[in-house]
Amino acid sequence: MTSYAELANGGLTRIKPYQAGKPIEEVKRELGIDDVIKLASNECPLGMSPKAREAAIRAVEEGNFYPDSNGFYLKEKLCRRYGYDREMLTLGAGSNELINLLFEAFVNDRCNVVLPAYSFVVYAMEATVNAAPVKSVPLKNWQVDLDACLAAIDENTRVVAFANPSNPIGTAVSYARIHEFVRQVPKRTLVVIDEAYNEFNSGDPTYEDTAKWVADCENLVVSRTFSKAYGLAGLRVGYMVANPEISSLLNRLRAPFNVNSVALSAACAALDDQDFLQQVVNNNNTERERFGSFCREQGLEMIPSLANFVTIDFGQRDAQKLAADLLKRGVIVRPLVGYQLLSKLRVSIGTPEQNDRFFKALTELLGQA
């Protein structure tokens, strides 16, 4: 028999499929329970803006037409709101697609990729698919160590990528340090800042719009998404800001209609509804405090988070077992076994009711032997 794996590009056989959080329906089906909440994929617990919902429904009515391949109105809104140049923007079916495109465009077997330890797993997958070795840089106090990243960059490093705030850890680096880093990295190395959780960090008094630095930093690439704070994860839309030459390469590589018309319309309306965004951020701030109090009361270590999830350490306990027991109680969380963090769970911050349910279930489980 023909081995198609042998015929495939070398890197492809060396990665495992991405392990997504379990969908609610799957848990209901498998465990035969009705009342299930998902605190596993950092989705927006308040749903989406009602305005985005209306825009999405209106767009469905025109679903017989192809979407605007250039995403004119969404780019227009982003340029007006943040002052970017249209030529710097690439739209994607989620920021994940944009990260894939960037790696596909620039990474190959003649270069390497520098990544902090415990990075979002997609970066390493894309490096491997594109046949580049990964140089992994240890964290410092669970924070991305930009000094160590800088030291790891050599003449063959094509990309250094990190998420800020990071995932699955949730810590963030100061904007002043990131800006300094971006200026220190040699121009032949692309600096990718993945800001999937950007909106949750915007209350930081030192906050800066890193994408504004692109005008002066030709090797800086910033990715953002509507999946998390804007609540459009299922619609798949994100954007990347990079210098016009890089953007033009990505726009050549992407599929012509990569972002669908429902997602484009919903994203435009979501950007206009900053009140809804503020509600999401407020809920997250208040509830993250409650996670902190809960962990203190229970004597659990929680890594300080600036995102919409927290990572909790359970010491000697098997976190995977805890996750399975929580699942039986209808609460889906994310064990970090894939990252070899066997004592930790990542829990997305939900509504007050959802979090109460998590606190209650976990308290019961911790009370058992």
Residues at the contact surface with ligand PLP, assessed by CB under 6 A: 42, 94-96, 120, 163, 167, 194, 196, 225, 227-228, 233, 238
Q: Which is nearer to ligand PLP, 217 or 237 (CB)?
A: 237
CB nearer to ligand PLP: give 242 or 361.
242
Q: How many CB atoms lie within 10 A of CB 162?
A: 23
CA distance 286 to 350: 11
> Could you write out the DSSP letters of every residue in 169-216?
T-----HHHHHHHHHHS-TTSEEEEE-TTHHHHTTSTT---GGGGGGT
In the bound state with ligand PLP, the residue whose beta carbon lies nearer, of 42 and 357, is: 42
Name the H helices within the chain. 4-7, 24-31, 50-60, 72-82, 95-106, 121-129, 146-152, 175-184, 198-201, 244-253, 261-272, 274-298, 319-328, 352-367
Q: Which residue is nearest to ligand PLP (CB)?
A: 94
| CA-CA-CA-CA dihedral for 238, 241, 242, 248, to nearest 10 | 60
Smallest gap from Cβ 307 to ligand PLP, in A, equals: 8
Q: What is the distance between the terminal CA atoms of the chain, rounded to a whole angstrom?
A: 53
Three-class SS state of 99:
helix
How many angstroms separate the CA atoms of 217 and 211, rounded? 10
CB of 364 to ligand PLP, least distance (A): 29
Residue at token pair 């299930």: 36
Q: How far is the CB of 111 from ligand PLP (least distance, A)?
A: 22
For ligand PLP, the closer of residues 111 and 222 by Cβ is 222
Q: How far is the CB of 227 from ligand PLP (least distance, A)?
A: 3
User: Residue 42 or residue 143: which is nearer to ligand PLP going by CB?
Assistant: 42
The nearest distance, CB 188 to ligand PLP, in angstroms, is 24
Taking the complex as a whole, how short is the minimal distance between the CB of residue 328 and ligand PLP, in angstroms?
A: 26
Q: Cβ 126 to ligand PLP, closest distance in Å?
A: 12
CB of 104 closer than 8 Å to CB of 254: no
Cβ 167 to ligand PLP, closest distance in Å?
A: 4
Pick 163 or 312: Cβ nearer ligand PLP:
163
Nearer to ligand PLP, 163 or 362 (CB): 163
What are the DSSP calls for 134-157, one per residue? Answer: EEEE--BTTB--HHHHHHH--TTE
Comparison of 90 and 225: residue with beta carbon closer to ligand PLP:
225
In the complex with ligand PLP, which residue's Cβ is closer, 117 or 365? 117
Collapsing DSSP to helix, strand or coil, 13 comes out as helix
Residue 176: CB minimum distance to ligand PLP, A: 22
- Nearest distance from C-beta of residue 240 to ligand PLP, angstroms: 10
Nearer to ligand PLP by C-beta: 163 or 190? 163
Burial of 270 (0-12, 13-18, 19+ CB in 10 A): buried
| Edge-to-edge strand ranges of the sheet holding 341-348 | 301-303, 309-313, 341-348, 334-336
